[in-house]
Amino acid sequence: MEKNIRVLVANRPRLMRELVLEAFADQPDIEIVGEVVDDAEILASVERTHPDFVVIALENPGRRPTICDTVLRQYPEMRIIAVAPNHKYSVYYWASLKIHSHDVEASEESILSTVRNKTHSAGGPS
Amino acid sequence: MGRPNGPGNATWKAGVYLLAENRLLRETLSRLLQKKTEFRVVGEGAYSDAVIEQVLASQCDILLLDGVTRVHAGTDLIHELLRALPDLRVLLIGMEEEEETFVRAVRSGVAGYLLKDASAMEVVAAVRAVTQGEAVCPPRLCQALFHYIAQQAREGTVPAVQAELGLTPRQQQLVSLVAQGLTNKEIADHLHLSEQTVKNHVHRILRQVHARSRSEIVATVRNCGFSS
């Protein structure tokens, strides 16, 4: 049996975090390993919970969140999705020698599909 | 008073339309609302040129609108929708805690204003409240509303006129006298100023509000909610 995908949810604002949790709630293959309110706690939470994926906030679309670099430098195998609360899209980040990114629609289907397809793959867009 | 098929009817469900840029937010919030027996989601989408037609066609009772969409659409969207659907209750979500933005939203006719740190359950509770004819606003901003009304009553000035047209309370006072048909000399006597100072004020106001005459000044500031 394949093991569950471990996801750490660290979105802001609170409404977006709760709605991301709602999107993952009924997925039998996804396990929420933690919920982080403050970006400053993300790294410590990653160290503690060992997620496969971290879902964070994208405050300035077009600019990679600093926490993305911090996490991927220490955990290059980590996958990150940054969701812009007020925009149509989110961005998937992964590391392979350097940090790459790929735009994903900010929809339940696209985010779940990215989490499932990328957890055990090489990282790049399929 | 409830409509025949409105809130007074036990089986009635408030029709909610979700207008927000983020599809994930629309989908999940829609699902949370559908789980409640008193709501039905009658439409959802991001802002587009056809949004007014879509909202009107949905015959919704409640419009949930996110802050970014409101900025894209401007206040005209709310004005136009409320003109076409006077019973529509508009609830803004994901808003900043800015007094000026809040007061403008209230002036545009919204029934509720939720800050971006509101929880999903607070959004659902706010939809329920506006459905029942209540207004929803954060307590701190409610204080701003009290202050706004008190200031307007005290000074006879409208902060929005100051914000939108750049007219100071003194200039608004002068416009009020212009609106009463007073001449520059009469205004000067009233305000204990020289006639030349009043002329200079009027000249500056003409430039500031892009008006060509005294009557255009009055019309322009009245459009901003100023009643002399």
CA distance A116 to chain B (A): 17
**Nearest-CB residue to B31 (from A13, A14, A22):** A22
Partner B, chain A 75-104, Cβ-Cβ below 8 Å: 83-88, 90
Whether chain A has a CB inside 8 Å of the CB on B116: the answer is: yes
State how far the Cα of A54 lies from the Cα of B108, in Å rounded to an integer: 40
Report the gap between the CA of A55 and the closest CA in chain B (Å): 13
Backbone angles phi, psi at A31, to 5 degrees: -115, 120
The range of the structural domain enclosing residue A72 comes to 5-118
pLDDT band at B107 (very low <50, low <70, confident <90, very high): confident
**pLDDT average, residue stretch B40-58:** 93
What pLDDT, on the 0 to 100 scale, is given for residue B1? Answer: 41
| Alpha carbon of A1: minimum distance to chain B alpha carbons (Å) | 29
Does residue A9 carry a pLDDT above 80? yes
Residue A22 lies inside a defined structural domain of this protein: yes
Instruction: Determine, yes or no, domain membership for A34.
Output: yes
Determine the Cα angle at B147 with ends B142 and B152, to 5°: 130
pLDDT tens-digit map of B113-143: 999 889 999 999 999 999 999 999 998 899 8
Is A108 within a domain?
yes
Q: Does residue A57 lie within any of the structural domains?
A: yes
Tokens describing residue B152: 């307007």
Q: Give the pLDDT confidence score for residue A47 in this predicted structure.
A: 95
Residue B157 has pLDDT above 80, yes or no: no
DSSP 8-state code for residue A60: S
CATH number at A106 reads 3.40.50.2300
Kindly report, residue by residue over B158-176, the tens digit of the pLDDT: 666 666 677 787 888 888 8
Tell me whether residue A58 is in a domain. yes
C-alpha closest to that of A102 among B212, A110, B17, B182? A110
**pLDDT value of position B2:** 42
pLDDT band at B89 (very low <50, low <70, confident <90, very high): very high
Interface touch B94/A20, C-beta < 8 Å:
no
* Average pLDDT of the residues in B83-95: 93
Tokens of A99: 């940090």
Buried b / exposed e over B59-70, threshold 16 CB at 10 Å, is ebbbbbbbbbbb
Placement of tokens 């029709």 in the chain = B15
User: Is A126 within the bounds of a domain?
Assistant: no
> Rounded to 5 degrees, what are φ and ψ at A63?
-125, 125
Q: Is residue A124 part of a domain?
A: no
* pLDDT tens-digit series, residues A66-92: 999 999 999 999 999 999 887 887 888
| Number of domains forming the structure of chain A | 1
Please count the other Cβ atoms lying within 10 Å of the Cβ belonging to residue B110: 25
DSSP 8-state code for residue A83: E
Distance of alpha carbon B201 from the chain centroid: 30
Asked if B94 lies within 8 A of A105 by C-beta distance, the reply is no
- Domain assignment of residue A86, yes or no: yes
Contacting residues of B for A108, CB less than 8 Å apart = 23-24, 27-28
**DSSP codes joined into one string, chain B:** ---TTSTTSTT--EEEEEE-S-HHHHHHHHHHHHTSTTEEEEEEE---TTHHHHHHHHT-SEEEEEHHHHHHH-HHHHHHHHHH-TT-EEEEEEE---HHHHHHHHHHT-SEEEETT--HHHHHHHHHHHHTT--B--HHHHHHHHHHHHHHHHHS--HHHHHHH---HHHHHHHHHHHTT--HHHHHHHHT--HHHHHHHHHHHHHHTT-SSHHHHHHHHHHTT---
Distance CA B81, CA B63 (A): 10
* Average pLDDT value for chain A: 88
Q: What is the model's pLDDT at position B162?
A: 64
Residues in chain A: 126
- Give the span between the Cα atoms of A6 and B7, in whole angstroms: 44
Would you say the C-alpha torsion A41, A45, A48, A50 has a positive or negative sign?
Answer: negative
* Chain segment B219-228, per-residue pLDDT in tens: 777 766 665 5
Residue A105 with chain B: CB contacts under 8 Å? 23
Specify whether the CB–CB gap between B137 and B102 falls below 8 A: yes
Q: What domains are defined for chain B? A: 14-145 (3.40.50.2300), 156-223 (1.10.10.10)
Question: 């409404």: which residue's tokens?
Answer: A15
Q: Which of A16, A37, A86, A110 to mutate to test the interface with B (most CBs of B within 10 A)?
A: A86
- Identify the weakest region by mean pLDDT among B1-15, B29-43, B97-111: B1-15
Contact B61, B16 (CB under 8 A): yes
ipTM, 2 dp: 0.85
Query: Looking at the DSSP assignment, which residues form a beta bridge with residue A91?
Result: A82, A103
Predicted confidence band of residue A100 (pLDDT cuts 50, 70, 90): confident
Q: Which of B51, B59, B118, B103 is nearest to B80 (CA)?
A: B51
- Inter-chain residue contact A86 with B46, CB threshold 8 Å: no
Question: Residue A86: which H helix or E strand, with range?
Answer: none
Burial class from Cβ neighbours inside 10 Å (0-12, 13-18, 19+) for residue B169 reads middle
